[in-house]
Structure 1
């Protein structure tokens, strides 16, 4: 896998949003076909990388744009609106960069940030199947000379298939979790394209196997400690998930509008000549649009909370950011599912024809929103406001 050439370096929030909007127009064009054929988006990812958008969270001190989280979330939402899978692929890339920001040494930051600005993509190998809970890890990191050996198997490794480095959660000999930034071409590392989810089909969220893989000590960053003190690693990951769902919701809503305007026939009992005049259809679109606009507003609001928490990370600011993000995660989950489903109720039977590919919105939303249960978002938010209880630091809220 070669690195992208002529990678742009974005220098401002405004430029990032313009580039993302233009890129989204291109990525939208064949998104239904890529989903239908499960065609891995390798050429699209190359264009995405060369756009410079994968480097926008690199701090200004290291040559990046250091964009706000408001901008970062908007960029991801724009890409996810164009293609839900392409919106999710960089999620763990930005997550790993946040771990690097809060826990990496200056040398690690300088070196890895430079790789990102040069076009490298980071994937992930975090989750494992078969453990007691979804957050338990058994993949091991053992000392070997001036480096380490990794042994284990990962799943849900979104982006690993396309990455130059695969940040991997590992448990060291003291039982402490670390994050190893493993080069994709390391001996003994195998990325398996075995993701069979019915949505987010081209995210490459399959398996990664580590068979005595060697990693340099300089490529291992503390991980567990990011959740033992107030940091923004957890809410940063969560705002990106919310942005993905919000983008999917917007795509489903826009496709519903277009289909009803151009193809849908009015129901006979409505007494109208056009589907766009049906009063019950109007009511349904009103209901969808209000919730979609609310999700988009909460996404922006949560980015502002996260910006404040990054600037001054303490128990109060991180808790407030986590709750603000939990609020948009709850609503973006519901509106993405509602928009993807209500689309068919409003557009009618024609909308179910395979050539339109409109089912991908609901499938993408249904699969992605299972990342962590929305019912616990409501619990955390209620507990915060009613009992002044801060959410857990482990990053799932």
Structure 2
């Protein structure tokens, strides 16, 4: 074993020891939170205090300095504990990556140190409109000092848990990304997300009524016609979904095993019996284990590709083709992982009769959560993009360029809005 591999293993062992107790605590309360629809403020606080929300922030800014494979491995474990949590923190993670891709050191210093100190970023990007455009406006303040933000966003995942909100707005000429305090005067966050899964992600409405914005809170301007730039963010955001889905597959396996081990009756067998000794139950659990293994392997492979692209960028070796290939790999992974996890979330009920449908167990949450995650970023369109790429060499992202050109974050979030809002 190489010295580098030994060091990586030691790092992963330290990270596991650090976060495993927190994941266990989160998992212990997941069913009760689901039953009561109790937002996960306390688990988010635990993760912030332990440094999970700053894992990818480089150590020079006070963060954890984790590699992308390490980050996604831990994110999968968090998804196993409660799949709402990775989704809640998805925009925070993406914001960190966008800062790491920025060439503006003062911007990185300003915002990454805040995240390292425990502050969390949410986002208000997508809107419930018939067209993918920004209706939120950014206009000069009448006093001549700063700006005023007005409008409404939906699918603003995680904003109820956030300290800062990354907002997509329009100043009459350009699209603009701005950061505003979540508790600023004029900001209203509403928990009106009505999806049947991922119920605790607070993916609802955020309103901005004459919210003051300083110049220091402006992140970047974009022209609507701006061409695709080299970025790994689309693949990164998709891999967060893959890791969360993989976590669900692991939770399905865990809960299926626990259910079968505790049972003392088998359908069609009189008297006491042990489902754990039933060959048919063996087959079900074997299939669940295999599906979880496959999803984890695929997600891990994409995470390693993301890390390779990240290192290539740092070393000046990354090309446009690097990012095109990364997007295609993530899209291909999406097709397989979604199907496998949804299969597992349905198959788990075969470990034991109608009792597996008890509300006290809430095994249905795994399918509901996986189905909602699978609906983000339409897989059927991505499958077509993959085919067109292999047949005609057309880069996948170009086919969504009109809907996605406004910012790295919006490119992914608009697809989510289109998918969920129909």
- Cα RMSD (Å): 2.5
Deviation digits for residues 204-245 of structure 1 (CA, Å, limit 9, x no counterpart): 111100112111122121264897211112111111111111
Give the number of aligned pairs: 383
1:343 partnered with 2:342: no
In structure 2, runs of 5+ residues without a counterpart are: 1-9, 399-403, 405-410, 416-422
Deviation digits for residues 284-335 of structure 1 (CA, Å, limit 9, x no counterpart): 3333332321111111110111112222242111112212222332222222
User: Partner of 2:124: helix, strand, or coil?
Assistant: coil
In structure 1, runs of 5+ residues without a counterpart are: 1-10
* Matched residue, 1:16: 15
**Matches of 1:67 and 1:34 in 2, distance apart?**
29
1:282 partnered with 2:291: no
- Once the two structures are superposed, the pairs formed by residues 52-201 of structure 1 within 5 Å of their partners are 52-103=51-102, 105-132=104-131, 135-144=132-141, 145-174=144-173, 176-201=174-199
Cα pair 1:337 1:362 within 8 Å, conserved:
yes
Deviates more, 1:275-284 or 1:206-215: 275-284
Q: Give the direction of change, closer, same or farther, for the CA distance of 1:227–1:125 in structure 2 (3 Å limit).
A: farther
User: 1:269 offset after TM fit, Å?
Assistant: 8.4
**Matches of 2:297 and 2:364 in 1, distance apart?**
26
**Matches of 2:11 and 2:139 in 1, distance apart?**
42
Deviation digits for residues 22-71 of structure 1 (CA, Å, limit 9, x no counterpart): 32111111100001001112222211110001111112342323322111
User: 1:146 offset after TM fit, Å?
Assistant: 4.4
1:325 partnered with 2:330: yes
Cα pair 2:288 2:348 within 8 Å, conserved:
no
Q: 2:201 aligns with which of 200, 203, 208?
A: 203
User: 1:12 offset after TM fit, Å?
Assistant: 5.5
Cα pair 2:61 2:116 within 8 Å, conserved:
no
- Once the two structures are superposed, the pairs formed by residues 263-302 of structure 1 within 5 Å of their partners are 263=263, 265-268=265-268, 274-302=274-302
1:381 partnered with 2:386: yes
Give TM-score scaled by structure 1 length.
0.89
* Matched residue, 1:356: 361
**Matches of 2:120 and 2:139 in 1, distance apart?**
26
Cα pair 2:169 2:177 within 8 Å, conserved:
yes
* Matched residue, 2:371: 366
* Matched residue, 1:232: 232
Q: Give the direction of change, closer, same or farther, for the CA distance of 1:147–1:103 in structure 2 (3 Å limit).
A: farther
Cα pair 1:122 1:163 within 8 Å, conserved:
yes
1:212 partnered with 2:210: yes
Deviates more, 1:13-22 or 1:213-222: 13-22
**Matches of 2:100 and 2:139 in 1, distance apart?**
25
**Matches of 1:95 and 1:227 in 2, distance apart?**
20
* Matched residue, 2:396: 391
User: 1:359 offset after TM fit, Å?
Assistant: 1.6
User: Partner of 1:166: helix, strand, or coil?
Assistant: strand
Q: Give the direction of change, closer, same or farther, for the CA distance of 1:104–1:125 in structure 2 (3 Å limit).
A: farther
User: 1:189 offset after TM fit, Å?
Assistant: 1.0
Cα pair 1:123 1:165 within 8 Å, conserved:
yes
**Matches of 1:291 and 1:363 in 2, distance apart?**
18
Cα pair 1:298 1:327 within 8 Å, conserved:
no
User: 1:80 offset after TM fit, Å?
Assistant: 1.1
